């Protein structure tokens, strides 16, 4: 890559054998690829050893957080610029070329760049429902960290954020089973952290005092926000299914908080 600034790509993974090769091969334009594996059991680790420049293995800390592993990857990266991607995300050629242009003449006043996302959800690009938006994924080394207090957290950026125009394509969930699997992983982490810190979760809200009421209200609010307020209905059945599942995600998150507060530990084991 002919540029005045080197680029490291950091990819934190867990059980991504079905798509990690395509992901990493699409990132060959970078100077360095760093992969942090969270104890995968499907052969991901064996694959990335042949595809990445640097491979690390870490359990994600006590709450098994992917963001803990991302921070480790950022520390291990050697480039002055870091691109943070997930295994199910792909840069469009236009965005790749735009990033290379940034690296040829970086603005000294910019610490990070937000990248626009488009989401491919259950076999369709969702144009509505609040799915369009930008995430900060390109940054100068040392200028961005993820707080390790919830599974879904907004990065902390030290400095000015600019925005690029090219798209990242996020292949969110190819099947409902994939959504449910990730939901179970993330809600378990977030429920523990919500109890510990008093705020967090999918929407980074304070832990509700009336948890029983929120079990009913919060999922409906998520559905209304996605399907009605942000016009998810314009995406047809796909938009409806996505809104329902995201509302259910919120229910499961709060239900697991309730479980941690009200169900004795190891209750099932003791009953056997």
- pLDDT tens for each residue of 23-64: 999 999 999 999 999 999 999 999 999 999 999 999 999 888
3-state secondary structure of 221: helix
d(CA 241, CA 123): 12
Q: Cα angle vertex 97, ends 91, 103, to 5°?
A: 105
Say yes or no: 152 and 186 in one domain: no
Residues of the domain holding 45: 7-173
Q: Is residue 1 part of a domain?
A: no
Mean pLDDT of 205-209: 84
d(CA 153, CA 135): 11
End-to-end CA distance of the chain: 61
- Among the candidates 118, 142, 173, a domain finishes at 173
Share of the chain above pLDDT 90, in %: 75
Say yes or no: 41 and 166 in one domain: yes
- Among the candidates 173, 204, 226, a domain finishes at 173
Say yes or no: 144 and 22 in one domain: yes
The total number of structural domains that make up the chain: 2
Say yes or no: 127 and 222 in one domain: no
**HEC per residue, 125-152:** EECCCCCCEEEEEEEECCCEECCCCCCC
Say yes or no: 115 and 210 in one domain: no
Residue 205's pLDDT is what? 81
Per-residue CA distances from 61 to 65, 71, 148, 183, 188 (Å): 7, 12, 9, 19, 14
For the cut 80, the answer to whether the pLDDT of residue 1 exceeds it is no
pLDDT in tens, 56-90: 999 999 888 899 999 999 999 999 999 999 999 99
For the cut 60, the answer to whether the pLDDT of residue 269 exceeds it is no
Mean pLDDT of 237-251: 96
Residue 272's pLDDT is what? 43
270, containing H or E segment:
helix 267-271
Mean pLDDT of 199-226: 88
Partners of residue 23 on adjacent β-strands: none
């Amino acid at each position: 890559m002919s540029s005045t600034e080197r680029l490291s790509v950091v990819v934190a993974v867990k059980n991504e054998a079905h798509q990690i090769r395509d992901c990493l091969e699409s990132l060959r334009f970078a100077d360095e690829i760093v992969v942090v594996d969270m104890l995968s059991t499907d052969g991901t680790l064996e694959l990335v050893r042949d595809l990445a420049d640097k491979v690390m293995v870490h359990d994600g800390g006590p709450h098994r957080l992917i963001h803990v592993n991302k921070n480790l990857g950022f520390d291990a990266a050697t480039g002055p610029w870091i691109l943070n991607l997930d295994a199910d995300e792909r840069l469009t050629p236009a965005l790749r070329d735009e990033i290379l242009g940034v690296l040829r003449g970086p603005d000294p006043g910019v610490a990070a760049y937000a990248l626009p996302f488009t989401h491919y959800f259950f076999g369709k690009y969702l144009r509505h429902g609040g799915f369009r938006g930008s995430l900060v994924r390109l940054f100068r080394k040392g200028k961005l960290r993820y707080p390790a207090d919830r599974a879904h957290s907004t990065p902390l950026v030290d400095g000015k954020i600019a925005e690029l125009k090219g798209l990242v394509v996020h292949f969110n969930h190819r099947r409902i089973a994939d959504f449910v699997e990730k939901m179970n992983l993330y809600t378990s982490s977030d429920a523990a952290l919500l109890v510990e810190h008093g705020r967090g979760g999918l929407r980074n809200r304070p832990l509700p005092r009336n948890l029983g009421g929120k079990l009913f209200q919060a999922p409906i609010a998520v559905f209304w926000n996605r399907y009605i307020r942000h016009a998810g209905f314009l995406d047809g059945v796909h938009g409806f299914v996505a809104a329902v599942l995201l509302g259910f995600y919120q229910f499961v998150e709060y239900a697991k908080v309730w479980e941690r507060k009200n169900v004795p530990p190891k209750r099932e084991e003791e009953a056997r």
